[in-house]
């Protein structure tokens, strides 16, 4: 398979006519290794200011489970970017003496959160090479989520995406950055905070990880598809059923790690490549049946990997299974192409087309809510990606 760079060079000679296109392609050719995200040197002015961004959560259809060093995924994944479930982050920056340490305060939903400091410190260490100004400023970070904190919804994706965008916005004050590079680098940085966060920058669907059918795909950041998805998948609905709101017994990071020496790992990674090829066809054809088949298969395979790790673990709860069975029955009875997916937890994402919203929502209220913690669920749908807040 040609490397991204070679592919774009070929394209440049064969198809590209206008100067603008050549420039766009040159940028793509240039950004294909980690080094391309290290900026050329710039000054750190004695300025202060505030930047604010909101970034959405995302739900994977083909799952990322297993990684190599430096947050490189073991297989490619694809997700729908969500719309309502978001993190909103404000960063106030002020010049300090350029020392050898990071300086920041962090508050979540108005409360100082020192227990979040190690995660942010680790993130800053990982991205320092790419954002050389980090040790020259003090940062006051305020963050909050639009979804309940103790909902069991992974907020690291939206949180890392929002923080990365804020930091990129600060860098943009010191040096010129094209929009193309801005969003790619934000995704690149977010990935270093939490892998799936790189899929929370732009609108739906987003592919992360190299795949032979997607020329622009990369292990380093998420990319949009270069074709228009079928109408059937526009405004796709995701209702998140909150089955278990407690702390997960096994973190995603530990779960990813257990894919090393996992007896089924190799087959699983191959399967993810195939499922991604297949779902790309589904995005073109609008085939609901294939969509349901791939998405539910992926969710159950993810949990099968957990159950066959060593040590093994189960994150689904009895109510997760109850809900899955009821969705299957409802689908059989009504022929509505509603399906489920799961993250690394017990909550169930119910996915369905926009035009069946009324039927599916009443089914959820009447039959599924009873299996949720305090009857809670969150209605969401696919969205356009992160935004700057002025």
Contact residues for ligand DP6 (CB under 6 A)? 60, 63-65, 71, 77, 154, 156, 194-196, 252-253, 256, 302, 343-344
CB atoms within 10 A of CB 229: 18
Cα separation, 286 vs 34, whole angstroms: 36
Instruction: Classify residue 311 by its DSSP letter.
Output: S
Single out the residue of 299, 289, 275, 384 nearest to residue 350, CA to CA.
299
Instruction: Classify residue 98 by its DSSP letter.
Output: -
From the CB of 197, what's the least distance to ligand DP6, in Å? 6
From the CB of 116, what's the least distance to ligand DP6, in Å? 14
Cα separation, 251 vs 238, whole angstroms: 23
**C-beta closer to ligand DP6: residue 305 or 368:** 305
From the CB of 201, what's the least distance to ligand DP6, in Å? 14
Asked if residue 352 lies in contact with residue 296, where contact means CB atoms within 8 angstroms, the answer is no
Asked if residue 132 lies in contact with residue 172, where contact means CB atoms within 8 angstroms, the answer is no
The residue whose Cβ lies closest to ligand DP6 is 195
From the CB of 351, what's the least distance to ligand DP6, in Å? 14
**C-beta closer to ligand DP6: residue 136 or 245:** 245
**C-beta closer to ligand DP6: residue 177 or 254:** 254
From the CB of 308, what's the least distance to ligand DP6, in Å? 15
**C-beta closer to ligand DP6: residue 257 or 359:** 257
**C-beta closer to ligand DP6: residue 26 or 225:** 225
From the CB of 18, what's the least distance to ligand DP6, in Å? 37
From the CB of 160, what's the least distance to ligand DP6, in Å? 8
Cα separation, 196 vs 168, whole angstroms: 18
CB atoms within 10 A of CB 5: 14
Q: For 185, phi and psi rounded to 5 degrees?
A: -70, -35
**C-beta closer to ligand DP6: residue 60 or 258:** 60
**C-beta closer to ligand DP6: residue 152 or 170:** 152
Within the chain, where are the H helices?
4-14, 19-30, 117-127, 156-174, 179-193, 252-257, 265-285, 288-307, 318-334, 357-363
**C-beta closer to ligand DP6: residue 253 or 274:** 253
In the three-class reduction of DSSP (H, G, I as helix; E, B as strand; rest coil), residue 150 is classed as: helix
From the CB of 159, what's the least distance to ligand DP6, in Å? 11
From the CB of 95, what's the least distance to ligand DP6, in Å? 31
Cα separation, 54 vs 390, whole angstroms: 11
Cα distances (angstroms) measured from residue 385 to each of 6, 54, 163, 207, 268: 29, 9, 14, 14, 29
**C-beta closer to ligand DP6: residue 345 or 353:** 345
Cα separation, 292 vs 336, whole angstroms: 11
């Amino acid at each position: 398979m040609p490397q991204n760079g070679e592919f774009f060079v070929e394209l440049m000679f064969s198809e590209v006519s206008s100067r603008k296109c050549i420039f766009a392609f040159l940028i793509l050719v240039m950004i294909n290794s980690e080094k391309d995200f290290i900026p050329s040197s710039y000054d750190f002015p004695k300025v202060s200011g505030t930047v604010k961004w909101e970034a959405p959560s995302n739900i994977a259809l083909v799952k990322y489970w297993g990684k190599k060093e430096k947050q490189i995924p073991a297989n490619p994944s694809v997700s729908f970017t969500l719309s309502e479930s978001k993190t909103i982050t404000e960063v106030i920056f002020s010049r300090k003496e350029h020392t050898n340490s990071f300086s920041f305060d962090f508050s979540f939903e108005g409360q100082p959160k020192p227990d979040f400091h190690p995660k942010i410190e680790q993130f800053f260490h990982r991205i320092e090479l790419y954002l050389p100004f980090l040790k020259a400023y003090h940062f006051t970070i305020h963050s909050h989520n639009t979804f309940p904190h103790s909902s069991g919804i992974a907020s690291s994706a939206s949180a890392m995406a929002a923080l990365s965008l804020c930091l990129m916005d600060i860098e943009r004050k010191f040096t010129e950055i094209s929009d193309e590079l801005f969003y790619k680098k934000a995704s690149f940085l977010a990935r270093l905070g939490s892998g799936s966060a790189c899929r929370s920058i732009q609108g739906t669907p987003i592919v992360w990880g190299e795949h032979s059918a997607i020329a622009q795909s990369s292990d380093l950041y998420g990319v949009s598809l270069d074709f228009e998805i079928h109408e059937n998948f526009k405004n796709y609905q995701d209702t998140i059923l909150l089955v278990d709101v407690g702390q997960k017994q096994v973190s995603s990071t530990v779960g990813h790690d257990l894919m090393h020496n996992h007896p089924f790992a190799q087959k699983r990674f191959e399967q993810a490549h195939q499922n991604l090829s297949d779902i790309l066809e589904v995005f073109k054809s609008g085939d609901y049946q294939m969509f349901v088949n791939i998405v539910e298969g992926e969710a159950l395979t993810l949990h099968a990997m957990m159950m066959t790790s060593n040590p093994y673990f189960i994150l689904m709860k009895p109510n997760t299974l109850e809900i899955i069975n009821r969705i299957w029955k409802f689908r059989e009875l009504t022929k509505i192409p509603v399906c489920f997916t799961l993250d690394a937890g017990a909550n169930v994402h119910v996915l369905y087309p926009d035009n069946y919203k009324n039927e599916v929502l009443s089914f959820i209220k009447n039959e599924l809510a009873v299996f949720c913690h305090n009857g809670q669920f969150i209605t969401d749908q696919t969205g356009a990606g992160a935004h700057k807040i002025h």
